[in-house]
Amino acid sequence: MIILDLDDTLINHSLAQRAAAARFGECYSEKIPDYDASCFADKWKNIAEVHFQSFLDGDISYQEQRRRRLRAIFLDDSVTAEDADEMFVTVLAHYEAAWQLFPDVLGFIKANKQHGLAVISDGSQLHQEQKLKAMNIYHHFDFVMTAESTGLCKPDVKLFHKACLLANVKPEETFYIGDNLNKDALGASAAGLKGVWLNRNNRADVNNMAPMDVQILSSLSDFIYL
């Protein structure tokens, strides 16, 4: 069995997020305090990470973290849930329009689907399934497990064990591949799986941070099932 992360492992989430942020900034530039097109995408990403972590911590719902992100962007806590939800439709439209698979994904699926494939993601169940369906690869995966559906998030070992139990496989017989060294590769390894770090940017400075027992890939094309 091979279990994979989704965002920035299979689908280029970062590229789509930046595209959506840029378009949202253009649409609402007059209402955003100190708006600067040159750095707005980075500001959006930083704010998103703060409030998404609150969702992962179980403090707020997935929808509420979206609302708080917009209130932070506008520096306005009076933005109603209804108005925030309506504005976020614009974000989602641009985000979804920019979804794309990494070039190595289809070849990886073709080469490894006989081993059994699944997904663990810290995102929303419906939205993550929607991504896979939009990219026409959903049918290749036995299941999609998310933080929203389980109440667990990476690198909690219970999440990885829950996935192995669902797949009816032993952790030590299971690979887990993801782009985040700590949450994906090290988290899976701590749970007894074979953690694999997909370092797509091939950053030499962080390669040295990975323990010897963590396999490092710069592309899914380099993966060998052993």
What is the percentage of the chain residues whose pLDDT exceeds 70? 96
What is the predicted pLDDT for the residue at 138?
A: 98
Q: What's the pTM value of the predicted model, to 2 decimals?
A: 0.89
In terms of CATH, what superfamily is 2-12+100-222?
Answer: HAD superfamily/HAD-like (3.40.50.1000)
- Bridge partners of 148, per DSSP, are none
Every domain of the chain and the residues it spans: 2-12+100-222, 13-97
Element holding 46 (H helix, E strand) = helix 40-56
Q: What is the rounded average pLDDT of the residues 173-183?
A: 95
- Between CA 76 and CA 83 the distance in angstroms is 12
146 beta partners: 121
What is the rounded CA–CA span in Å between residue 142 and residue 158? 19
pLDDT, the chain, mean: 93
- What is residue 201's predicted lDDT score, i.e. its pLDDT? 83
The SS3 call for residue 4 is strand
Amino acid at 160: F
Q: Integer distance in angstroms from the first to the last C-alpha of the chain?
A: 11
| Highest CATH level, class, for 13-97 | mainly alpha
